[in-house]
Amino acid sequence: MSVKNVLIAGAWRPSLDASDTFSALNPATGKAIDETYPVSGMKDVEAALRAGHGAAVALLGMPDRVDRVAAFLDDFASRIEQHADALVAIANEETALPVTPRLKSVELPRTTGQLRQAAAAVRDRSWTMATIDTAANIRSYYAPLGGPVVVFGPNNFPFAFNSVAGGDFTAAIAAGNPVIGKANTSHPGTTRLLAELAFEAVRAAGLPDAMVQLIYRTPSEVGFALVSHPLVAATGFTGSKSAGLKLKAAAEQAGKPIYLEMSSVNPLFVLPGALAERGAGIAKELFESCALGSGQFCTRPGLTIVPAGAAGEAFVAEAARHFEQGAPGTLLGRAGLSSVADGIAELKRAGAEVLVGGSPIPGDRLSFQNTLLRVSGDAFLANPHALQTEAFATVNTVVVARDVDQMVDIARSLEGNLTGSIYSAESGDDEPAYRKIAPVLRQKVGRLLNDKMPTGVAVSPAMNHGGPYPATGHPGFTAVGIPPAMLRFAMLQSFDNVRHDRLPVELQDPNPTGSMFRRIDGRWTTDDVAR
């Protein structure tokens, strides 16, 4: 059986030093897919880093870099659309995510839309935050890092967060950096096909060949060497906390920036008035949100906090009915299946009671019962860390708190999360409770929602798909949203007394596009610098 090629330095060629091979699994059948991919060693990694560094330097020297990068992003989006059927087919085989609506009508258009938003942001140039102090003649902006960015994609979004085509890839490329994609090992074929299209677009745009490179997998030590290598500029990682923390330690020890999106239980508070007004509707919404993508969304609510009493009990019963009746989805891989079981075991050990589900479903298909757990507010507060264990499937733990004050205490005991949601009465009855809980929850989460489930992550400039540790590695950055996500892959460059014709066009007196926003002497404007 032939082993697939890696894409390094502009060539699809065999791994130089594969220590092993692997195949993906079809989660719907539990059977290995008949394609074999190499596990790359240091030779591949070194070659990719050298080529990526060369590409970064060449790119900085291209006077029309911005146009070429924007053209690449648009063209790559078009090529993805032209090959949508093939992409959707292989992604479906590797992930068991439904062809429609999910892959074809939702995730693929989101991915191409994000690429095109990035192309527009690149052409617009406002993302660089050009800042001009005319009195001191000091000017600054955000510029490419000057080296390759490594992207580790997660298993749960084969297009939208793919290490080739997804959010980190797009942000890093748009900021002017080459990318070395490390495929998620659950969908190497999807990633390979995306990389083929990306590489065609690289060629068509006249970008350096090593603008996009692809390896599939490495032993852990090689991964650590990759993110801490002198030639790497930065890393974007989306995945498990255990893998993320190890990569974080390796990268940071070498002084290399790494952006991580690791884990989140996305707490959801239902206030008494909302429960009374529309508890049943919220229970239905909760289940639907939990079941999206078989519960494998980073922003799936994993923890629901309700006050005790008749309305709380009715809510729990209604939620249980939905979890019981809903069709269990297919999980992405065997490791996920066992880690869900481990997570639920941990929640039970910590005092949670299983109301619905709790077990894997026998058979070839990788599936786990929809699972609803329950725990009292007292028990939660006695063991908050263990009761925030993530179980990445259609799993939710309802915390029945004694009263609103205990809901505040629970908010205070939370770790950093991507999102936090509060459902409150339309009537205004919940305002006092909201004012107690929201300020506490606000500091624990990247995105605060009202009366809305967190599973939708709009590609908006105002999005924060980020949050305090351990949801991510830094509370100031978002992984979704153009242009803010691009700033992760840029360096601040100041020019002090630099002669005018030597400045980047973004910082010269005339506005380079006529419409770019720049901060000139404290005012954001599209004007030229007055001479």
**Residues in region 128-147 near its own copies by CB under 8 A:** 131-133, 136, 138-140, 142-143, 145-146
Residue 134's nearest CA partner among 511, 514, 396, 508 is 508
3-state secondary structure of 352: coil
Tell me the closest approach of the beta carbon of residue 8 to its own copies, in angstroms.
Answer: 23
Q: Of 386 and 491, which has the nearer Cβ to its own copies?
A: 491
Catalytic residue among 35, 93, 261, 277: 261
Number of residues that bind its own copies (CB under 8 A): 72
Q: Does 438 bind its own copies (CB under 8 A)?
A: yes
Write the single-letter amino acid at 442.
R
Q: Does 505 bind its own copies (CB under 8 A)?
A: no
Tell me the closest approach of the beta carbon of residue 526 to its own copies, in angstroms.
Answer: 9
Assess whether 261 carries a catalytic annotation: yes
Q: How far apart are CA 74 and CA 207, in angstroms?
A: 14
Q: Does 476 bind its own copies (CB under 8 A)?
A: yes
C-alpha distances out from residue 254 to 7, 230, 450, 472, Å: 26, 8, 41, 19
Cα of 335 vs its chain's centroid, Å: 20
Q: Collect all residues with Cβ–Cβ distance below 8 Å to 11 and sequence separation of at least 6.
A: none
Site for its own copies in 400-419 (CB under 8 A): 419
**Are the CB atoms for 87 and 112 separated by under 8 Å?**
no
Residue from the set 62, 243, 491, 505 that interacts with its own copies by CB under 8 A: 491
Q: Does 125 bind its own copies (CB under 8 A)?
A: no
Cα of 122 vs its chain's centroid, Å: 21
Q: Strands 37-39, 20-22: parallel, antiparallel or unpaired by DSSP?
A: antiparallel
Q: Which stretch binds its own copies (CB under 8 A): 5-13, 183-191, 350-358, 514-522?
A: 514-522
The set of long-range contacts for 408-413, using a CB threshold of 8 Å and a minimum separation of 24, is 408/436, 408/437, 408/440, 409/377, 409/381, 410/267, 410/305, 410/377, 410/380, 410/381, 410/384, 411/267, 411/269, 411/305, 411/437, 411/440, 411/441, 411/444, 412/440, 413/380, 413/381, 413/384
Q: Of 197 and 490, which has the nearer Cβ to its own copies?
A: 490
Tell me the closest approach of the beta carbon of residue 93 to its own copies, in angstroms.
Answer: 33
Residue from the set 434, 437, 455, 479 that interacts with its own copies by CB under 8 A: 434
Tell me the closest approach of the beta carbon of residue 439 to its own copies, in angstroms.
Answer: 6
Q: Of 188 and 470, which has the nearer Cβ to its own copies?
A: 470
3-state secondary structure of 172: helix
Site for its own copies in 43-102 (CB under 8 A): 57, 60-61
Tell me the closest approach of the beta carbon of residue 242 to its own copies, in angstroms.
Answer: 14
Q: How far apart are CA 85 and CA 108, in angstroms?
A: 10
Q: How far apart are CA 295 and CA 156, in angstroms?
A: 10
Q: Which stretch binds its own copies (CB under 8 A): 271-279, 345-353, 402-410, 490-498?
A: 490-498
Tell me the closest approach of the beta carbon of residue 501 to its own copies, in angstroms.
Answer: 9
Q: Of 356 and 433, which has the nearer Cβ to its own copies?
A: 433
Q: Does 385 bind its own copies (CB under 8 A)?
A: no
Residue 238's nearest CA partner among 336, 149, 144, 162 is 162
| Joined tokens for residue 318 | 């209604």
Site for its own copies in 182-211 (CB under 8 A): none
Catalytic residue among 93, 94, 298, 390: 298
| Joined tokens for residue 494 | 């100041």
φ/ψ of 342, rounded to 5, equals -60, -45
Q: How far apart are CA 65 and CA 313, in angstroms?
A: 60
Assess whether 298 carries a catalytic annotation: yes
| Joined tokens for residue 72 | 């690449």
Tell me the closest approach of the beta carbon of residue 148 to its own copies, in angstroms.
Answer: 13
Q: Of 60 and 361, which has the nearer Cβ to its own copies?
A: 60
Q: Of 435 and 531, which has the nearer Cβ to its own copies?
A: 435
Q: How far apart are CA 176 and CA 148, in angstroms?
A: 10
Q: Does 432 bind its own copies (CB under 8 A)?
A: no
φ/ψ of 107, rounded to 5, equals -75, -40
Tell me the closest approach of the beta carbon of residue 58 to its own copies, in angstroms.
Answer: 11
CA distance from start to end of the chain: 68
Q: How far apart are CA 16 and CA 6, in angstroms?
A: 9
Residue from the set 188, 400, 447, 506 that interacts with its own copies by CB under 8 A: 447
Q: Of 309 and 512, which has the nearer Cβ to its own copies?
A: 512
**Are the CB atoms for 343 and 392 separated by under 8 Å?**
yes
Q: Of 63 and 362, which has the nearer Cβ to its own copies?
A: 63
Q: Does 522 bind its own copies (CB under 8 A)?
A: yes
Q: Which stretch binds its own copies (CB under 8 A): 150-158, 272-280, 393-401, 493-501?
A: 493-501
Site for its own copies in 146-165 (CB under 8 A): 146
Residue from the set 67, 378, 451, 509 that interacts with its own copies by CB under 8 A: 451
**Are the CB atoms for 266 and 289 separated by under 8 Å?**
no
| Joined tokens for residue 24 | 């993906």
Site for its own copies in 246-305 (CB under 8 A): 248-249, 252-253, 255-257
Site for its own copies in 454-473 (CB under 8 A): 454, 458, 460-464, 466, 468-470, 473
Q: Does 442 bind its own copies (CB under 8 A)?
A: yes
Q: Of 89 and 143, which has the nearer Cβ to its own copies?
A: 143
Q: Which stretch binds its own copies (CB under 8 A): 340-348, 350-358, 393-401, 480-488?
A: 480-488
Tell me the closest approach of the beta carbon of residue 104 to its own copies, in angstroms.
Answer: 23
Residue 440's nearest CA partner among 412, 466, 464 is 412
Which residues are marked as active site?
Answer: 261, 298
